[in-house]
Structure 1
Amino acid sequence: MRQALKKINVVYTVPAIVLFSLTVWGLKFPEQMEETMLGLMHILIESVGSFFVVATVIFIGICFYLGFGRYRHMKLGKEGDKPEYNYYSWIGLLFGAGMGVGLLFWAVAEPLSHYVEPPPGMDAETQSVAEAGLLYSVFHWGIHPWAIYATVALGLAIAKFKKDLPGLISSVFHPLLGDRIHGGAGKTIDIIAIIGTTIGVATTLGLSTMQLAGGLSEVFGLENTLLLQMSIITIITVVFLTSAVTGINRGMLYLSVTSLTLAAILMIVIFLLGPTLFLSEYVTSMTGEYVASFIPLTFETMPYADNEWLGEWTFFYWAWLISWSPFVGTFIARVSRGRTLQEFVIGVLFVPAFTSLIWIVVFGGTGIHLEHILGADLAETVVERPESGLFLILESLPFNLILSITTLIVITIFFVTSANSATYVLGVFSSKGDFDPKNKVLITWGLLISAIAATFLFTGGLDGLEAMAITAGLPFALLIVVMVFAIYRYFRKEGEAR
Structure 2
Amino acid sequence: MFKPFVINPPVFFGALIIIGLFLSVGIFLPAQAEAIFGGLQSRILSGFGWLYLLSVGIFLATMLLLCFSRFGDLRLGPDDSTPDFSFKSWVAMLFAAGMGIGLMFYGVGEPMTHYLAPPTAEPGSVAAVREAMSVTFLHWGIHAWAVYAVVGLSLAYFGYRYNLPLTIRSGLYPLLKERINGPIGHAVDIFAIVGTVFGLATSMGAGVTQINSGLSFLLGVPNSPSVQLMIIALVTGLAILSVLSGLDRGVRILSELNLLVAILLMLFVLLVGPTADLMRDFVQNLGLYLDSILLRTFNIYAYDPTPWIDAWTLFYWAWWISWSPFVGMFIARISRGRTVRQFITAVLFIPAGFTFVWMTVFGNTAISIDQGVAEGALGAAIAADLSVGLFEFFTYLPFPAITSTLAILLVAIFFVTSADSGAMVIDTISAGGQTETTLVQRVFWCLMSGLVAAVLLLAGGLTALQSATIASALPFICVMLALLWSLLAGMRADMAQQSTSRALTAPPASPAAGLSWQKRLGMILHAPTEREVRGYLAGRVRPALEQVARELQLIGREAHVEDGEEGAVALRSQAEGARDFVYGVSLASHPLAVLSPLATGKPELRYEARTYFATGERGYDVMGMTQEQLLSDILGQFERYVSLMQSPAVQLMQSAPEHEGN
Fold shared by both chains (TM-score > 0.5): yes
Counterpart Cα distance in 2 of 1:47 and 1:406: 43
Task: Tell me the residue number matched to 1:435.
Answer: 435
Paired residues, number? 491
For the residues of structure 2 that align with 1:405 and 1:373, how far apart are their CA atoms?
Answer: 25
CA distance in 2, matches of 1:339, 1:220: 48
Aligned to 2:36: 36
- Per the alignment, in what secondary structure is the counterpart of residue 222 of structure 1? coil
Instruction: Single out whichever of 199-208 and 378-387 deviates more from structure 2.
Output: 378-387
1:228 aligns with 2:227: yes
| Distance in structure 2 (CA, Å) of the matches to 1:448 and 1:342 | 37
RMSD across aligned C-alpha pairs, in angstroms? 1.8
Following superposition, the deviation at residue 252 of structure 1 comes to 4.4
In 2, the alpha carbon distance for the partners of 1:93 and 1:165 equals 24
CA distance in 2, matches of 1:367, 1:403: 15
Q: For the Cα contact (< 8 Å) 1:244–1:251, is it kept in 2?
A: no
**TM score, norm. by length of structure 2:** 0.72
Match of 1:153 in 2: 152
Alignment check: 8 A CA contact 1:207 1:462 kept: yes
Q: Which has the higher contact order (CA 8 A, sep 6+)?
A: 1
CA 1:148/1:247 → structure 2, altered by over 3 Å: closer, same or farther?
farther
Match of residue 69 from structure 1:
69
Q: Which has the larger radius of gyration?
A: 2
- 1:122 is matched with 121
- Identity value in percent: 35
**8 Å contact 1:282–1:361 — kept in the other structure?**
yes
- For structure 1, the 5+ residue unaligned runs are 1-6
1:366, CA displacement in angstroms?
1.1
Report the Cα offset of residue 158 of structure 1: 1.5
CA–CA distance in structure 1, aligned partners of residues 469 and 260 of structure 2: 30
Partner of 2:343: 344
Please state how far the C-alpha of 1:371 moved relative to its aligned partner. Answer: 1.3
The 3-state SS of whatever aligns with 2:70 is coil
* Preserved contact between residue 98 and residue 352 of structure 2 (Cα < 8 Å): no
Q: Is the 8 A contact 1:97 1:418 kept in 2?
A: no
CA distance in 1, matches of 2:227, 2:431: 34
Is residue 2:398 matched to residue 1:401? no
Q: Does 1:53 align with 2:53?
A: yes
Moved more, 237-246 or 189-198: 237-246
Cα distance between partner residues in 2 of 1:99 and 1:481 = 26
**What is the CA distance between 1:87 and its match in structure 2?**
4.4
Structure with greater proportional helix content: 1
Q: Which residue in the other structure is 1:370 paired with?
A: 369
**Aligned match of 2:465:** 465
Q: 1:404, 1:320 → 2: CA distance? A: 27
Cα distance between partner residues in 2 of 1:265 and 1:117: 30
Change (3 A) 1:347 1:438: farther
1:449 is aligned to 2:449: yes
Q: Is the 8 A contact 1:135 1:289 kept in 2?
A: yes
Q: What is the TM-score normalised by the length of structure 1?
A: 0.94
Deviation, structure 1 residue 92: 4.8
Structure with higher strand content = 2
Letter in 2 for 1:456: L
1:423 aligns with 2:423: yes
Correspondence for 1:390:
390
Question: What does the per-residue CA deviation read over 1:52-101, in whole Å, with 9 as the maximum and x for residues that have no partner?
Answer: 11101111122112222212232212234333344454445445555511
Deviation at 1:245, TM superposition (A): 5.0
Structure 1 contact 26–458 (Cα < 8 Å) conserved: yes
CA shift for structure 1 position 34: 1.9
Letter of the structure 2 residue corresponding to residue 496 of structure 1: A
Find the counterpart in structure 1 of residue 595 from structure 2.
none
**How far 1:288 moved relative to its partner?**
1.6
Report the alpha carbon displacement of residue 246 of structure 1 after superposing the two structures with TM.
5.9
What do residues 16-40 of structure 1 show as CA deviations (whole Å, max 9, x unaligned)?
Answer: 1322343243123223222111101
Q: Deviations over 1:78-127 (max 9, x none)?
A: 234333344454445445555511111111111111122220x3211111
**CA distance 1:247–1:344, change in 2 (3 Å):** farther
Q: Would the aligned equivalents of 2:272 and 2:397 in 1 still touch at CA under 8 Å?
A: yes
Which residue does the alignment assign to 1:175?
A: 174
Distance, in Å, in 2 between the alignment partners of 1:322 and 1:415 is 20
SS in structure 1 at match of 2:409: helix
**1:61 & 1:34 partners in 2: Cα distance?**
37
Q: Deviations over 1:323-357 (max 9, x none)?
A: 11112111221122222222211221101111101
How far apart, in 1, do the equivalents of 2:353 and 2:293 lie? 13
| Matching of residues 43-442 of structure 1 within 5 Å | 43-87=43-87, 89-97=89-97, 99-119=99-119, 121-245=120-244, 250-374=249-373, 375-442=375-442
